[in-house]
Amino acid sequence: MTRSAADKYISLANALEQLDPAEVDHVYNELEPVDPNVLEGEWDMHVIDTGHPAQALAEDVLPLLSTMDFDDDAEKVHKIKFHGAPGHLVIPGDQASTRRFRYVDASTIAATNGYRAYYGNSGVLHFYLTRAEDPCYIG
């Protein structure tokens, strides 16, 4: 039986070991773009362990700022193509990073954050969002 991209992503998000960034990129690219309206509201952020250089910083910051509220930033959502696949991009006010989002399910959004200005060509940091009112466990 063929598993859906969403099922594969949820398996990766729940993995306890470090993952190959190429594998996460591949599954992420199979997901459909998220409708910007779905992003409205509060979301909890969770990092996927791929060994990205920004991962340690992201994990240190998450306990301090673990909720993302798109109500204030909704006008900054743009349609884009990333690795040839359509998606949506949020450009934060500071312009230091860009976040790309893909739909997993009604309570889960796959995301990447590019830190090219700081980490060069080290790829993207993979993380995912769960609705703030939902438990952190996905799947």
Contact 103, 38 (CB under 8 A): yes
Token look-up 């920004």 returns: 54
Residue 3, SS3 per DSSP: coil
pLDDT at residue 30 tops 60? yes
- Helices 21-30 and 5-13, interaxial angle, to 10°? 140
Quick one: average pLDDT of 79-91? 54
CB-count exposure of residue 50 (10 Å: 0-12, 13-18, 19+)? buried
Q: pTM of the entire structure?
A: 0.71
What are the pLDDT digits (tens) for 93-115? 555 555 688 899 999 999 888 76
- For the chain, the structural domain boundaries read 5-131
Q: At the top level of CATH, which class does the domain 5-131 belong to?
A: mainly beta
